[in-house]
Amino acid sequence: MRAATPASGGVLETPPPLSSGSSTVTVAAGVLDRVGAIDPPGGPLVVGLSGGRDSVCLLDVLARLLGSSALLAVHVHHGLRGHDADADARHCAAIASATGVALRVVRLPGRPAGPGSVAVWAREARADALLAAADAWGGPGSRVALGHTTTDQAETVLLRAISSPGARSLAGIRGDDPDRRRWRPLLVAGITRGETGAWCRARGLGWRDDPSNPTSPRGRVRAVLDRLVDVDRRAVGALVRTAELAREDDDALTALAARALRDAPAGPRIDAAWLRGAPAALGRRALRIAAERTLPGAHAGVGARLEDVVALLERGGPAALDVGDGARIRTDGRELWCEPTPARDRAPRTRA
């Protein structure tokens, strides 16, 4: 099977399928076996298809394992890269045709005017578009398969280690994330980016590379990771294992912190005396959980204000403190709870 590859910038042409005795074919066979050993989520599945090697590999592997009729490939056109973005969409159409999977191209209306990171907007808009496509095609709650690999996980751990300190950040990407309706079978199966490339070469499938990637923060971290692998070839595996251990620790601490919250009609309450005496690791998580159960969205920055909240409690009596992310902590001296900050007082949200 060979998909036509558009002849515009950013495309990496691949050779025809290789002979059965090649090492690339052997690696590719291992990819199929390892992903095939994972239990897939039930029901129809949307597959995010960017046109890069990882998503191309994922779509082809899942089509072979689950059948093309069980899948819908969705390509999100962000409208940010002009003709290159159009070529990405055409390439995805060729890949979908080669794998026998139906394709839906979602064209975003464009980034709203105002402050904020283009990368953050693109990531969040893409996630929303994929989930909306899953709802429309498979019904509410349907899952989305994404092509993240263990190499992506290692890069994420490095990137977050220098930008978002804490166990939760080091926990990286969840391979199976039913709460957020994401499934990352390549990550669960321990597949690397090198192996997805081997799969594509063995199957004669081309992929597209974003020419801006090397200059992005993740692209620069990718170069650092390559140098770390030169120092110790176990670097990727060690970083992936670090994420697994950090996730286990964070899940356990989060569960302990959640026990300190008392349910109330207006949102969870935290005992003030408990928070003053609790270990900081539990106190930070309790504040974050209270915010996330009361207000929409993630509130990673709320827990970082633990010392300020404790200082507020030490003064005694009713009081309130704006802690960022659109959240305000209020106390009556005995308990504290979270409520939305009035819009006129709201500071910019913290990005985790």
Of the CA atoms within 13 Å of residue 154, those in its CB half-sphere come to 24
Segment 247-292, tens digit of pLDDT: 999 999 999 999 999 999 888 999 999 999 999 999 999 999 999 9
Segment 214-229, tens digit of pLDDT: 888 888 999 999 999 9
Considering the chain, tell me which residue range(s) the CATH 3.30.465.60 domain(s) occupy.
259-345
Q: Which residues contact 273 (CB under 8 A, 6 or more apart)?
A: none
Bridge-based pairing of strands 102-107 and 319-324 is: unpaired
pTM as predicted = 0.84
Q: Angle between the 53-66 and 82-99 helix axes, to the nearest 10 degrees?
A: 20
Confidence of residue 2 (pLDDT cuts 50, 70, 90): very low
Of 59, 182, 208, the C-alpha closest to 127 is 182
In eight-state DSSP terms, residue 309 is H
What's residue 203's pLDDT? 93
Bridge-based pairing of strands 335-340 and 207-208 is: unpaired
Segment 116-132, tens digit of pLDDT: 678 788 888 999 999 99
Fold of the CATH domain 259-345: 3.30.465
CATH number attached to the domain at 11-245: 3.40.50.620
Considering the chain, tell me which residue range(s) the CATH 3.40.50.620 domain(s) occupy.
11-245
Helices (H) and strands (E) in the chain, counts: 14, 13
